Amino acid sequence: MAALSIYALTGAALVGLGFFGLLAARHLLRRVVAFNLIGSGLFLYFGAAATRGAAPDPVPQALIITGIVVALAASALAVALVVAQVRAAGRATLPEEEDAP
């Protein structure tokens, strides 16, 4: 049980780090990384929290794999948009936040 709570705590910490990154970072690539941190944290927490008793539950594993595929697709689109944004505007921030570092 102790090992499990370490997984859950790590997952929760990743979610927290990701949210901090989402709020604090203006560079769009950092935000994409932040989204991935939150997603990974949630999946880790999912795997840990859904374990009951001795036998592992296969359903969360299937869902996590599906979720990772979805997150990969979203990240790919996000990175493509960041590249397009840099090509169109010359910088990797949103127009209303351009005074940012």
Partner 1 sequence: MSALLACLVLPLLGALAAVALPRRAVAAVLAGVVALTLVAAVGLAVAVHSGGVVRLALGGWSPPLGIALAADGLGAAFVLLTALVMAGVAAAARDEMTPQGAGPRAAFGFWPLMLLLWGALNAVFLSRDLFNLYVGIELLTLAAVALVAIGGRAEAIAAAMRYLIFALAGSLLYLAGVVLIYGAHGTLDIDLVAARDAAAPDGLALALMTAGLLVKTALFPFHVWLPPAHASAPAPASALLSALVPKASFVILLRLWFEAMPDLGTDRALLLLGVLGAAAILWGSLRALVQARLKLIVAYSTVAQLGYLFLVFPLAGGAAGAQPWTAGAWTGAIFQALSHGLAKAAMFLAAGLFMAAAGSDRLGALRGLARVMPMTAFAFALASVTLISLPPSGGFTAKYLLMTSSFAAGQWIWALVMTLGGLLTAGYLYRPMAALFAREGGEGVQTVARARQAVPLVLAGLAILLGILSAAPFDFLQIGRPEAAEEGP
- Judged by the rule CB under 8 A, the positions of this chain that interact with partner 1 are 15, 22, 28, 31, 35, 38-39, 42, 45-46, 49-50, 52, 57, 59-60, 63, 66-67, 70, 73-74, 77-78, 81-82, 84-85, 88-89, 94-95
Nearest of 73, 63, 74, 12 to residue 41 by alpha carbon: 12
- Residue that has been written with the tokens 């709020």 in this structure: 23
State in angstroms the smallest separation of the CB of 32 from partner 1: 9
As a whole number of angstroms, the distance between CA 47 and CA 63 comes to 10
Dihedral pair phi/psi, residue 3, rounded to 5°:
-60, -40
State in angstroms the smallest separation of the CB of 15 from partner 1: 8
The smaller minimum CB distance to partner 1, of residues 2 and 63, is found at: 63
State in angstroms the smallest separation of the CB of 86 from partner 1: 10
The smaller minimum CB distance to partner 1, of residues 96 and 101, is found at: 96
The encoded tokens of residue 26 equal: 């203006």
The encoded tokens of residue 101 equal: 């570092």
